[in-house]
Structure 1
Amino acid sequence: MGRLYEWEPFNEVSGDQRCELNCRATGFRFYVRQSDRVIDGTPCGQNETSICVAGRCQSLGCDEYLGSGKVMDKCGVCGGDNTACKLVSGLFQQHSLNKVGYHKIVEIPEGATKINVTETLKSRNYLALKSRSGRSIINGNWAIDRPGKYEGVGTMFTYRRPNEVTSTAGESFLAEGPTNEILDVYVIYQQPNPGVSYEFILPSDNPPQHPDHRPGGNTLHGQSGNDHRGNPNQDGYDPAGGGKYPPQVPNNQVPAVQPPRRQREYNWKLSGATECSASCGRGSRYTIFRCVHRLSHEHVPENQCDSSTRPSSQEEPCNLQSCPAFWDIGEWSECSKTCGLGMQHRQVLCRQVYANRTLNVHTSRCRHLEQPETTSTCQLKICSEWQIRTEWSACSVPCGVGQRTREVHCVSNVGDFVSDEECNMKLRPSDNENCDMGPCAKSWFFTEWGNKCSAECGMGIRTRGVLCLTNHISSLPLEGCGHERPTDSQVCNHGPCESRIEWFTAPWSQVRQDNAGSNWACRDTSGERLG
């Protein structure tokens, strides 16, 4: 199309096109199929294990065989039937708690996977996590952490805030697990509790029981471990209260005795994140870890902490909401007229920023904004005009047809003479014209006698011009001028010549056979021939 584009991969295509090589022009909305088949092994689809083979998108099963169709069940068993684990779920809905502060919701045993703790509605309360060994993972010690990823009890927790999700749900913790330690979940109570749902999976060989949130009356939606009234069953395990009876160790297992750990006085603590790189349209920020006192959590110099244990800064997406579309206004073109009323134009595009790129989008996305004008009148200055500065001059001839002139100038609006190009040449007044002075008199006219005599000394002649003037100039005796033409020559004499001798030559004679030469003679200035 007469333009040079830069290309980028384009994957937003339908299923049957996922293994074609489609490219989109960077900054534009159209894409082109460059090849009907990509190289085998190219990723395709939403699943990270899906790849293109012979032009078809095939999924790699959890058994690492293409097309097997096997997937992990919720228990983490490839091709399993979900019988190797037990889903534990419940709802903590005690509306009013005794006082502002930390209140335990549920205990999540060791080995739990697919952990999901979510407020059912947004509130001013906060969720908190703490390991059974006493380590605070999120929102501990009255310090509210930023949303992000936090490592603890052998897994990574994703902490989300209500303003980062589009649903009406409140805060949430998500983790894949498995955990290597008992985990306690708390709510930091500040206003009536809208309800907190929790869900996790445990191996089926040691099924847990649902908690009994006291005071009673809470409805639990568990799949095992509780009767219909939400009370703990006969094994006495109560995840919310820390266990009515401690869990029993099977006879064939011996509890491992851990050597006492040396408590470090200082450790690294997540203290926030950098500013988001964009206010909207998907930016990024990085977590910041600072060295703090283990008990007081006061910041101390970083050399007090072990640099080898410092968590690596994690990049997080932020401000994922779309940036508002806006009108991108181009520069006005030059005015169509150098003076007077003209027109100028500019390009106006609806554009939107996403992931540090500005894209052209449909104008409907800018409908909430008033569309700028694309054309406008313009006037660089008032046009100059023609002015006649003098009257007509006298005619160039006393009779007959001649020429007369006058001064015509292009004058600016401030009275200065400017070049003729600044005025409209089609409207320029004439600065010369013919003039007819009427028929000339029919008579002879003659000039003064010439000053030069034909001879430098002695007798010579001098001449003058003689003309017959009627309505045109002629030297012939025409009717009306008369036949007695005035003489146009007369004798002149500059005095006697001084005597001197010089050669005079006559004209050449005709060519003869005898090769005769020219006639010559030696004469004096009086003309007398000498020998």
Structure 2
Amino acid sequence: MFTYKRPNEISSTAGESFLADGPTNEVLDVYASVKLFQSENILVSSGPSPPAVQAGEPLNGQLEMPESTNHDEEDLHREMDTLTGQAAGTFPVIQPGRFPSHQPENQVPAVQPPRQNREHNWKQIGKTECTTTCGKGSQYPIFHCVNRITHEEVPESYCDSSTKPIPEEEACNLFPCPAFWDIGEWSECSKTCGLGMQHRQILCRQIYANRTLTVQQYRCHHLEKPETTSTCQLKICSEWQIRTEWTSCSVPCGVGQRTRDVKCVSNLGDIVDDEECNMKLRPNDIENCDMGPCAKSWFLTEWSDRCSAECGDGVRTRSVVCMTNHVSSLPLEGCGNNRPSETTPCNNGPCAGKVEWFAGSWTQCSTECGSGTQQREVICVRKTEGHFDVLNPYECSYLERPPSQQSCYLKPCGSKWFHTEWSTCSKSCEGGFRVREVRCLSDDMTTSTQCDPQLKPEEKEPCNTQDCIPEIDENCKDKYYNCNVVVQARLCVYTYYKTACCASCTRVANRQSGFLGRR
């Protein structure tokens, strides 16, 4: 049992003490609440003496901060010195069994509250985790109720809650956090248009004691330094220029397009990429043009290469469609009822004389393109040189019968060349020309660009290349010897002179007609 002894505070200069009959074989935990007023104090502990700490020395292996040339780094050093040094001099340690002979007059005595249960007491078993990993954090001691003899933890109700020590904040992780680059905002661009420059400020910073301090840049040498300058461009100084007039319309009739040349030009007069000009202000370089209504004509594909029958008579096919014709020389009229034929006869020669199944030609596919069905007639025949003899089907039963119905894929839904009929020849003799329009059309009869250019039909060809032969009229003769005077005086326009000098006037008329035709 320990006896607490406290002398008269007014007349005695002796200190407080604990007295007990000894010896004891147990480890004793003594907690004293002491308020320090002087640099020299008394610390009572039952454990080993803590190391003396000199003022201004690093604590717990803390690295010493290098010298700094700015005020923030000096503040960082002073902050660390205050935490690690606390006060000048060392703290004397009093070992168990040795007590000072007197107590300073202004010393506040340590008071041990009475224990309700002497078998258990409060014991510090550790500390909380530090609130930060660097830059000065806080942690607090953790007290648990333990058995005084076995030191095993017991429920807190076993100890007097009024005697539980109040955890006091302790500084931890005093070393500064790693330095980092603090990046400022970009400045305004140095130019209002075109390429310019902009700048920003970067600082090497460290955090300590919830304060962000500016330090010398060499502390951030382990980090990639951000760029402090950059190019910028608020707007483009180039402008749009129209270099050519509108072209002619792309079609002789109907709705087509016309174009013109629009370029982006720099302030030096050079043609630059369009992106350097404001695309919202770009003048149109293409527009529609209407050249009036067009004629309609029949457009035809070429005949198919394959005959529908392998031998004997068959047919070849082509596609026919009525569409607007852009050839301006044709009259403005519709296609009419004279639709060109879509089939033409063909014959691959006589068939050999033998008994076999004869399959007629397939009907046209049920669709114009893609998948469909088609039928044909299948009969048993004996082929001869001039004809077929139809036999009973059992005569061909030993042969595999061809199908009479099948799925078909007439053509891929792609594009083919269509053309109109030839126009009238421009001249009746001595060589003229005729034209037709050729278009690439898809299966839905819309204009396409997917046709093979090498298969495109001709759009113009010569015609009526024979010489012009004037007709001789025996009744057309000159009645006067000086009809050349009538011709020179241009009197052939009158009926009398045209009859009296018929031959001369006719020759002149033919020459003028031939000249105009050659033009």
TM-score calculated relative to the size of structure 2: 0.29
Point out which structure has higher relative CO (alpha carbons under 8 A, 6+ apart).
1
More strand by share: 1
TM-score calculated relative to the size of structure 1: 0.28
